[in-house]
Amino acid sequence: MILTINVALLLAIIVILRWRRPVEPRTRADQTFGIIVILILGLVLAPTDVGQGILHGVQQLLHGITQIKL
């Protein structure tokens, strides 16, 4: 039996668990760890179909926002 781990899924779980923590003063090391995990997750997801879909959705959202006339 071979066990495989999806790195993107593991990083996404870490990010979700960190977001659910109660707000409390954090150390600089804790903030740095969070930033590194989120950056690595972005780099892992970017070339995948899911990452490209997210990018396309964000682009459409931003395009719609810029078309709003006040």
Q: What is the pLDDT of residue 45?
A: 76
Q: What is the pLDDT of residue 63?
A: 85
24 part of a folded domain: yes
50 part of a folded domain: yes
CB 44 within 8 Å of CB 8: yes
22 part of a folded domain: yes
Give how many domains the chain has, as a whole number: 1
pTM of the complete model beyond 0.75: no
pLDDT, tens digit only, all 70 positions of the chain = 666 667 777 888 888 887 777 767 678 887 788 788 888 878 777 787 877 887 788 888 888 888 876 6
Joined tokens for residue 43: 């780099």
30 part of a folded domain: yes
User: What is the span of the domain harbouring residue 19?
Assistant: 7-66
59 part of a folded domain: yes
Q: What size, in residues, is the chain?
A: 70
1 part of a folded domain: no
